[in-house]
Amino acid sequence: MIHQLTLSDVLAEHARSRPQVTAVVDGEVRLTYPELDERVTRLANALAARGVTAGERVLWLGRNAHAVLELLLASSRLGAIFCPANWRQSADELAFVLDDLAPKVVVWERSEAAAPLSGDGWILAGADYEAFLAGGSAEAVPEPTGDTAPGGDTVPAGDTVPGGDAASAGDAAPVLALYTAAFDGRPNAALLSSAALVAHSASLLVVRQMEPGFTFLNNGPLFHVGTMMFCLATFQIGGTNVFTPAFDAEEVCRLIDAEKVTQAFLFGQMIDAVVATNAGGKYDLSSLRFISHSDEWDAMTTVDDSPWCRSKMGGYGQTEVGGMLTFLGLAPGAAGFAGRPSPLVQVRLLDDSGAEVPPGEAGEICARGKSIFSGYFNRPELNAARTRGGWHHTGDLGRREPDGTITFIGPRLRMIKSGNENVYPAEVERALKIHPAVADAAVIGVPDERWHQAVKAVVVLRDGQAASEEEIVEHVKGTLASYKKPRHVVFAESIPKKGFTPDYDALDAAHGGGNYPGS
């Protein structure tokens, strides 16, 4: 027990240490930490009465609301798993999630996609949720199984990758499930433990230099780790989370002014929209301590000098590492734009055999450490593959630069084997796209008598630009090791895509791809 710290524990401490601090603002709702703590206890008891025990799942299907944080903390209090689902999904996609996660309780906002799926155990957000919560007892929730599995036996905490069972307990038990965008095939629910989330928050506290009083405006989607990670770090330091259903420039301005918001989930065009909305200076946005963006923005807000803001928020991350794995802010003047690892993780660039590749060579970004996830819910085979050799395999390619910093190359979707050398299409594609005449490019492997496979580039030229096959090959040779250069270049009108990535099956079919290792 002594070394445990669940999200529920953090709340219990804040209720004592910060009796007068506002934990949550959502429309008319304002809750201090003791008030939030009491509501979470009632909610946990109400969920328990519906059969939510350790390892069971609770689903939220709606826009941002303080109920998201309450359901997460109540799940932590019970040792259960909370999933804020993407409410923008289609009915088919939602049906898949419901079948996959089999939640005991769903709290939902009425929507076209969700309505036909609703049934037993579904609670409408708003008045029904309030009544459900109010019906729960305010008595202290018994601590969940602690360091013992539901069966009563002691299990090792920390290193178990559960495949649907609550195989680990205490703060190593999964508490948050976030579905990750699948490049290929069905989505998977990444499970994050309290220990991982607390560690990830600590790394954000360090890099963003967050302090008590930090006020975060949750205007990005909470089913995405990018917003959730700042919500949790704000919670961890005992700050204030302000919730708004979605981005609306006027409402964002009003809330920053009214709640003295320190940071919001804003970038690019959202910032431009805020600047345009507040051109007349109607709202005081000076409480916002954030990145530099434009002269108008910088004049309205306070440009922050923390490593996070200074570095334009760069780094490499994914849901499976709790959010960020590396930070540009930890590598001032870095060669690699992903920067350096968080102080709580290790990173290795590994080849297919699990051996480390030397600096300058592309390898899969692999990680160990305090913020790494606990595996995907109910995906034992995928979990075994992603954790082989005791390292979390991100599925992404990267490279160490001479200064030790990391460059993110792209998703490691495929590998070509040419003359016993590994060639990752993403790396060659990245080199091709640097050429000024190239608008888009994809790389496949074609059978080759001498080399087993040869690299073939499918290139789309920019309108009005020209480049020869030789010129393209020479360009890649100037950037990468010679064996990675294309032996064949074909020009095409467009690259077929699956989501954001090339459709390699279609490309293989169209351009003679084959002989891939393992095929």
365 is a site residue for a second copy (CB under 8 A) = no
The tokens describing 117, both together, are: 């799926």
Q: What is the footprint of a second copy within residues 206-235 (CB under 8 A)?
A: 206, 209-213
Which residue carries 């309290």 as its tokens?
Answer: 194
Query: First CA to last CA across the chain, in angstroms?
Result: 49
The answer to the question of residue 152 lying near a second copy (CB under 8 A) is no
Binding of residue 202 to a second copy (CB under 8 A): yes
Among 103, 162, 174, 307, binds a second copy (CB under 8 A): 307
> What number of chain residues touch a second copy (CB under 8 A)?
67
Distance of closest approach, residue 84 Cβ to a second copy, in angstroms: 23
CA atoms within 13 A on the CB side of 229: 24
Please state whether beta strands 315-318 and 323-327 pair in parallel, antiparallel, or not at all (unpaired). antiparallel
3-state DSSP helix/strand/coil % of the chain, to nearest 5: 35, 25, 40
Parallel, antiparallel, or unpaired for β 263-264 and 215-218?
parallel
Could you tell me which stretch among 71-79, 266-274, 288-296, 366-374 binds a second copy (CB under 8 A)?
366-374
Q: Which is nearer to a second copy, 387 or 515 (CB)?
A: 387
Nearest distance in Å: CB 9, a second copy: 5
Q: Give the strand pairing for 323-327 and 340-341.
A: antiparallel
Read off the DSSP letter of residue 516: -
Name which of residues 374 to 433 contact a second copy (CB under 8 A): 387, 390-392, 400, 402-406
H or E element: which one contains 16? helix 7-17
Taking the complex as a whole, the smallest distance from the CB of residue 353 to a second copy amounts, in Å, to: 16
To a second copy, the closest distance from the beta carbon of 487 in angstroms equals: 33
Contacting residues for 414 by C-beta, under 8 A, at least 6 apart: 424, 425, 444, 445, 504, 516
Q: How many CB atoms lie within 10 A of CB 320?
A: 27
* Nearer to a second copy among residue 263 and residue 418 (C-beta): 263
Question: Rounded to the nearest 10 degrees, what angle do helices 249-259 and 268-277 cross at?
Answer: 80
Residue 472 found at the interface with a second copy (CB under 8 A): no
Q: Which span (91-99, 248-256, 340-348, 475-483) binds a second copy, by CB under 8 A? A: 340-348
d(CA 42, CA 185): 39
Task: Spell out, one character per residue from 1 to 30, where the chain touches a second copy: x when CB under 8 A holds, - when not.
Answer: xxxxx---xx-xx--xxxxx----------
What residue ranges bind a second copy (CB under 8 A)?
1-5, 9-10, 12-13, 16-20, 147, 154-159, 161, 170, 172, 195-196, 198-199, 201-203, 205-206, 209-213, 236-238, 307, 330-332, 340-341, 343-348, 368-370, 372, 387, 390-392, 400, 402-406
